[in-house]
Each structure stands twice: as C-alpha cells, then as structure tokens.
Structure 1
Amino acid sequence: MVTGVAGFIGSHLAEALLERGVTVIGVDRRNAETDRAAAINLVPLHQHPSFIPITADLRNCAVEPLLLDADAVFHLAGVPGVRPSWGPQFGDYVACNILATQRIMQAAARLGVPRLVVASSSSVYGPTDGTPSKESDPVRPASPYAVTKLAAEQLCLAHAARPDCPTIVVALRYFTVFGPRQREDMAIHRILTAAVEGRTVHLYGDGTQRRDFTYVLDAVAATIAAATASITSGVINVGAGTTFSLLDVVDHTRRLIGRPVIRELSATHSGDVPATCADPTAARSLLGWAPAVDLATGMAKQLESLTAAHQNAMV
C-alpha cells in the first residue's frame, strides 16, 4: 500500500512498484476529478491493471481493510510545507501527519504487516552549520511542520520497539526531493517555471541557503530498498551529501534555458534553515543505495517535463 499516492513522491513510487510487477493499493484523500495536480500525478498509474486507487481520508476511514495481505506499507501521506504550518492550518498538519500516522501504524501492527516505511524529512534536524547530518545527531525542528514530521517518525518507531509489534519500521529522512511533477511551491519548480514563462523568480532570503537536492527516482530507489533490505527498525537519511545554493539553482536554470534569469530577493521565512546536508553512510551500508542523478541532470529532466506541460497547456 502506498499512502499519498497522488503526491509527488508517492506517484513516482507507485509507478516504480508497478513496473516491478507489484500490485499497488494507492490511497489518497485528493480526488483526481477535482484536484488538477492529483490528476496529473496519477496519469501514469491508471494504465496499469495492478493499480488499485482508493480515495479515502486516513484521518477517519477504515484503515485495516486497506492493509489486508499487504507485504509493505509506504506511508507518504501528509501535509507538506514549512511556511503554511505556522498559520491556522496547523490543526490539519497534526491530524494528517501525526493522528493519521498513528492509525496506520496501529493497523499495520495489528495485522502483522512485515514492514512500514514512513516518510520523514531533513527538516527534523533544524538549523545546522552545513556539515553532514548523521541520524544520531540531535534534532531541533525549527517549524511546526518539522515538529509533526519528527513526531510521526518517532511515533512509528515507538510502536516498533514494543516486544509484541511484528512490524519493522524504517523512517526515511528525505533531503529536498526534486524532479518531474514536483510540488508547485518548491524552489526548483518555481524557478524553472518562472524562467520558462519569462517571469521574475522570487527567492526567499539572499539565495545563499544551501540544500542537499535528491532526484525523485533516487528517492524512490531508496524507499523501495527500505522495504526489502534486511535491517531492523530505525532512521535513515536519503540525501547525496553534497549541497548547492539557490543561486546555484538559478545559474543552472540560466544555462538550461540559454538566457538570463531575472530574480528578486525577499525576506527569509520563519523555519527556513540556512543549510541541509545528509550524511549518506547509513543509506549506503544498510540499503546499498547511492544517488545516481546529479542536480544538473535532474533539473534538465524536470525542465523537459515542465516545458512539455507548458506546451500542452497552450494547445
């Protein structure tokens, strides 16, 4: 089962699993008939006879019937985004990222599902000096969103630590995933889209903040490995261990489109940390995983996808 299947990473994950011959039950509260982004993300999945889409809200739907006979649960559903989490939507963050996760984990344990892979975030580390973050490092979440992601991963791991729990839990701390179908609010999507359309690119802060960017198919490969590797419950970083600034992303964009990119700087938002960088040692040793796509190549693939979508919209 893949929760959040209509999302950015979830749809790519489901597509990869289907290509491997796996039957996928895909759950999402967004309805493709009314949600344009969900509809676009689900297009590659509907052609597969082994894809079973279910529109359901994990906060209140019957969970156990979804998990019957599941070999693994990939729990990617949740409310994303640092900036909106400071506002009145925080209740939705708690309900979706924590309470729904509790329901999924309880059901998985009751039914004896062998493995649950839960999506966490590099944001749980909070502000760092830019050196690679190890899974054993102290966590200092700097936004309400990050607090809920930390709570979700630790909640699942607390269940897994119980002597009577048959479910192994692997919490993956994703580091800034990008690529085709990336959410519209994320930096690379905003920068590429503005450049393609000839608009000014708006950057929060001075553009020097650095991120460990992970191409979506690399993140998917790590996620699938986490469901099959012979490991015990724990946390694993999913990141390359290299960083680029937002100004680097703008420069890559300029080279890709072949013309200057107009940018405008604005104030930094609360919760936006100056740098993220993964120590990928555990991913290499436990999952046999290493990223295969670098930032420039991944951005070229994302630009190709955006350009095709832009051209289709003009027809």
Structure 2
Amino acid sequence: MIKRVLVTGAQGFTGHYLVELLRQLGHEVYGLQADIRDLDALTAEVTSVNPTHVVHLAGISFTLDGKDINIYQVHLIGSENLLKACMEIRENLQKVILVSTSHVYGFGNGEPLDEDFPVAPRSHYAVSKYAMECVAENYRDDLSIIITRPFNYTGYGQAGRFLVPKLVSHFKQRLPAIELGNIDVARDFSDVRWVAQVYRALLDSEYEGVVNLCSGRAVTIRYILDYLQQKTGHEIQLNQKVDLIRKECLLQVGNHAKLDAWVGIKPYPFESTLDWMLSGESI
C-alpha cells in the first residue's frame, strides 16, 4: 500500500537517506517546510498534506551543552506542536515515529542497555529529548507512536564536526595529525542506510512504544583509527587535547533484542560503513 509520509528534518543527514529510500519504494513523501515552533503554520501544513505516516527527525543534533537556547523549544515544544497537529488528522494517521536518543540512559553501567534501563539524562540535549518522550505519553490514547532511541550512527554525507566523518576525512586527505580526546572509549556505531531501512520497517509495523536503534557492538576510537590506517596505508600523528576529553563512560553499547523482534533487519558491519565513507560514494 502506498503511504503518504511526512518527514520533518527531511533535508538533514538521516532525512536524506530515508526520503530517498521511501521514494524508491513508491511512497509519497513530503518534507515539512513549516517551523515546528510555529504551531499555526505547522498545523496548517500537516492538515494540508494529511499524511498517513509521520517521521519526526527534525532536531538540534550537535550542540555544546547549554549553548543553544533553542534546544527545548525545538525538541520539547516543537515536538508537542507536531503531536497537536497530528491530532487534527488522527482519523487518517496510522503511525508517528518520534526520534529520541540513547543519551537518555546517561553513562550506563557498561552492560548492554535495553529499553528498561533507568533513564539518567546528563545533558540539556538528553533532558530535552526525554522531556519529549514524557509529553508524548499524553497522546498515546489517540495516536500510534513509536519512540526510537538511536545510539551513534554515521555514513557518507554526515557533517565533519562529528567524530567518524572527522576521522575519515583526515585519512582521505592524508593529513599529518589529528586532535582527539580519549581514544579508548567504546561506542555502538550503526550505518545511516541501515537506520533508514529500520525506520521504513517501523512504519509498516504494528508496534508501539520505545525501541533502541543500535548494532549491539561497541568499537573504540582507537580501533577505528587503526582500521583507517590499515585501509589507507596512511599514518597519522595523534595529538590528545585535554579539552576534548569529556566526563563520560568508557563503554556504551545497546541491546537490540527488542528491535530484532520488531523488524529483524541485520545491522551493517561497521567496517563496511567505514569502507563506504572512504570510497566517497553517496549511495
């Protein structure tokens, strides 16, 4: 069945891949144009498009903690505005996907984090996302809502201020040195193409509730550096900067059992993601 999908943040990193995938599958896809902080404009556009499915990707993805005063306006107020607008078309609306973050778990305890792990957000970014989750509970009686908690993911086209694109870029350009913090922290990385496939599958699913988006495998920054050196044959000097060393846990990895049960799409091996980013091919 052809879906009419409204995607917020359609021009962003994840949105680009999701919109392309959905259109390839023959669905009608609309990228939200209104500012989600403007309830009237947002409601007018949502009712005009009258989507059967909504994916809410829009957000502030990179901020020094506390430096962007819009983070609550966008993640909390903007998301509730979207839910209010969705209430106007709820008879036709089959699924709403809201994107939260694995940062709501805080540092964790080194064990694979599942959806029942206690939340302990430690940054304004994480708090604003968890506040969105809490507000969304008020709409569950009327809307079919899935809240995803993505762990780290990357791919070709991600902005260079993020860690993995920064690493790949330095090796592709064969730069002599790189500035990093602690390279022995281990994180759960996924591929943006896989993330897009998961969102597509979740739109088709009958499920509601909270689900992790993760690979279940953690790799260290040191491992990524070694892999990129091996693939490119380029040695790079590491300059560790104290101001880049954050107060954070050494290991954070997700439990993907629930996601496997819901969609069963096998994650890409992270090495294949790095190979793809090195190749410079967009798809």
Is the TM value for this pair above 0.5? yes
Where 2:96 maps in the other structure, the secondary structure is strand
- Report if the CA contact (8 A) 1:64-1:111 is conserved: no
| 2:46 alignment partner, one of 46, 53, 67 | 67
Deviates more, 1:187-196 or 1:269-278: 269-278
Where 2:88 maps in the other structure, the secondary structure is helix
| 2:185 alignment partner, one of 193, 209, 218 | 209
How many aligned positions are there?
270
Residues of 1 paired with 2:138 and 2:186: CA distance? 32
| 1:80 alignment partner, one of 61, 73, 77 | 61
Residue 151, structure 1, aligned to residue 135, structure 2:
no
- Report if the CA contact (8 A) 2:152-2:189 is conserved: yes
| 1:125 alignment partner, one of 105, 108, 120 | 105
**Post-superposition shift, 1:270?**
4.8
**What 5-or-longer segments of structure 1 have no aligned partner?**
28-53, 309-315
1:35-46, aligned counterparts within 5 Å? none
- Report if the CA contact (8 A) 1:253-1:261 is conserved: no
Where 1:184 maps in the other structure, the secondary structure is coil
**Post-superposition shift, 1:129?**
2.6
Paired-residue identity, %: 22
**What 5-or-longer segments of structure 2 have no aligned partner?**
1-5
- The C-alpha deviation readout for 1:87-117, integer Å capped at 9, x for no partner, is 2x1x211111111101001111231022110
Residue 23, structure 1, aligned to residue 23, structure 2:
no
Where 1:288 maps in the other structure, the secondary structure is coil
1:202-281, aligned counterparts within 5 Å? 202-204=179-181, 206-231=182-207, 233-267=208-242, 268=244, 270=246, 272-281=248-257
Residue 108, structure 1, aligned to residue 83, structure 2:
no
1:34 corresponds to: none
2:17 corresponds to: 12
- Report the RMSD for the aligned CA atoms in angstroms: 1.7
- The C-alpha deviation readout for 1:109-158, integer Å capped at 9, x for no partner, is 23102211011111111102321101011011121111111112232233
TM-score, length basis structure 2: 0.90
Where 1:235 maps in the other structure, the secondary structure is strand
2:154 corresponds to: 178
**Post-superposition shift, 1:290?**
2.6
**Post-superposition shift, 1:288?**
2.6
- The C-alpha deviation readout for 1:192-225, integer Å capped at 9, x for no partner, is 1122223322212x21111100101111111111
Residues of 1 paired with 2:137 and 2:155: CA distance? 29
Write the letter of the residue equivalent to 2:9.
G
Residues of 1 paired with 2:247 and 2:124: CA distance? 8
1:135 corresponds to: 115
**Cα 1:95/1:273, change in 2 over 3 Å:** farther
**Post-superposition shift, 1:269?**
5.1
1:303 corresponds to: 278
TM-score, length basis structure 1: 0.81
Where 1:180 maps in the other structure, the secondary structure is coil
**Post-superposition shift, 1:289?**
2.8
